[in-house]
Copies of this chain bind each other. A is one copy, B any other.
Amino acid sequence: MSSFKDLLKTIELELGQQQFLGSPSNLYDPLNYIIGLGGKRIRPVLTLMGCELFDGQLEKAMPAALAIEIFHNFSLIHDDIMDNAPVRRGKATVHEKWDSSTAILSGDLMLVKAYEKLLKSEQKYWPELLSVFNKTAAEVCEGQQFDMNFEKQAHVSEAEYLEMIRLKTSVLLGSSLQLGAIVAGADQVNSKKLYELGVKMGLGFQLMDDYLDAFGTPELVGKKPGGDILAGKKTIMAIKAMEKGGTKFTEILKNITSSDEKKIEQTKEIFSSIGADVYLKGLSERYFNSAGIILRELEVPTSKKENLAKLLVYLQNRSF
């Protein structure tokens, strides 16, 4: 069993050797650029972990692991256009560095390349792999559309928000694990359990992200806090604040004489005063716990589960 760190190294090595080559260069350069920006690489590592859990050889999982990372980066390129985001991992986003049209098109190409990479997996697993991949890819689109719709929607319920982040973020983590299990020859019951584990982990992960966006230490998180607050995102904390804080909360952001810093500070005070931060952390914890329970139930030797168990604890307690 390899540790997260070992697997990460393997992934980075593979990604370093991957070059998207083709013409015109301004179509292919963005693919290499965004992959080169780095990232946590959680998804491909999960695929390798899913494979190791069921005694698979890592090489067999590599195409699926890379396909997942390529897919994830395709979605980042397109999301950044839609969110009008100028910066990604401290560098210019693709549509900023090139232009929107190039970003749309190189994103499209990257989606095709994700399929191409996935199909380097053993052929006998194609039906299962492609079925999971197609379903997940569609769901990620659905999640992003819900996210955009919610921005314009006056009211969003907690259940709706959770379903949105399940689609937008969590299913891809679930699939990452599941694809690894599939190429290791795991049976459907176990591979689906692993998927569920990943989805719960993803929900816990995203909720933690939401918490850190407001209450994280900027130096650790690596970006200015309060982005979600200023964007008026209807996160779980905002939903709670709307329920309990009502008008007062929604009016903070509308105050044009108030600075961004002040808006963030005032909003965080409301979040804390009604216990929305504690509620959110508790919710995240519950999802991580659910993931832990599924892991314990999984029919593989306990020794095999250690690394994934460690990862769950690590992600749950992260402050970055």
Q: How many copies does the complex hold?
A: 2
Residue of B nearest to A24 (CB): B145
A102 CA / B78 CA spacing, docked (Å): 11
Interface residues on A, range: 35 or more
Do A127 and B123 touch across chains, with their CB atoms under 8 A apart? yes
Instruction: Give A107 to B104 CA distance when docked, in angstroms.
Output: 10
Q: What is the bound-complex CA distance between A113 and B134, given in angstroms?
A: 8
- Please give, as numbers and ranges, the residues of chain B lying within 8 Å of A112 by CB-CB distance: 111, 134, 137-138, 141
Q: Within the assembled complex, what's the spacing in Å between the Cα atoms of A108 and B82?
A: 13
Type the 1/0 row for A47-86, where 1 means its CB is closer than 8 Å to any CB of B.
Answer: 0000000000000000000000000000000100110000
B148 contacts A101, CB within 8 Å? yes
Q: Given A116-B134, A149-B26, is A108 in contact with B142 using a C-beta cutoff of 8 Å? A: no
Q: A24-B145, A81-B101, A101-B148 are in contact. List 13 more A-B contacts (CB 8 A).
A: A22-B138, A24-B142, A26-B149, A27-B145, A78-B108, A82-B100, A105-B141, A108-B111, A108-B141, A109-B141, A109-B142, A112-B134, A116-B134
Q: Can you give 19 A-B contacts (C-beta < 8 A)?
A: A23-B142, A24-B145, A24-B149, A78-B104, A81-B104, A101-B148, A102-B148, A105-B145, A105-B148, A106-B145, A108-B111, A109-B142, A112-B134, A112-B137, A115-B115, A115-B130, A119-B134, A123-B127, A126-B126
